[in-house]
């Protein structure tokens, strides 16, 4: 059985266990950037290049430009209760 986790306080940590998750859309997010944004960018560049790998590289370049200019937001403010010792947001970017 699999449970959908929406907040970090829903995760039960067993001492000595390892919890692994990705950073984007799990720890941090950027306003307006989501899977739909990504798919639209790749689709746009696919039309231009007709090359999936190049389209993804170009979309990733757009994402990097946004990440360099914008401040990320925490997906869940409870992350600092979950992580011990606490990490600062700038450790992730």
Q: What pLDDT score was predicted for residue 74?
A: 79
What is the pLDDT at residue 24?
64
DSSP 8-state secondary structure symbol assigned to residue 24: B
Distance between first and last Cα of the chain:
34
Instruction: Give the mean pLDDT of 25-54.
Output: 91
- The residue count of the chain comes to 93
Predicted TM-score (pTM) of the model is 0.60
Domain spans, the chain: 29-71
Secondary structure (3-state) at 58: helix
Q: Where residue 43 falls among pLDDT bands split at 50, 70, 90?
A: very high
Residue 65 pLDDT level (bands cut at 50, 70, 90): very high
Supply the pLDDT for residue 84. 56
């Amino acid at each position: 059985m699999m449970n959908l986790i929406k907040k970090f306080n829903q995760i039960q940590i067993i001492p000595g266990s390892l919890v692994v998750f990705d950073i984007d859309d799990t720890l941090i997010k950027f306003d307006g950037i989501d899977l739909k944004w990504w798919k639209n960018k790749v689709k746009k560049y696919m039309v231009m290049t007709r090359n999936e790998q190049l389209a993804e590289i170009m979309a990733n370049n757009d994402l990097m430009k946004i990440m360099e200019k914008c401040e990320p937001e925490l997906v869940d403010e409870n992350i600092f209760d979950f992580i011990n010792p606490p990490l600062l947001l700038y450790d992730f970017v």
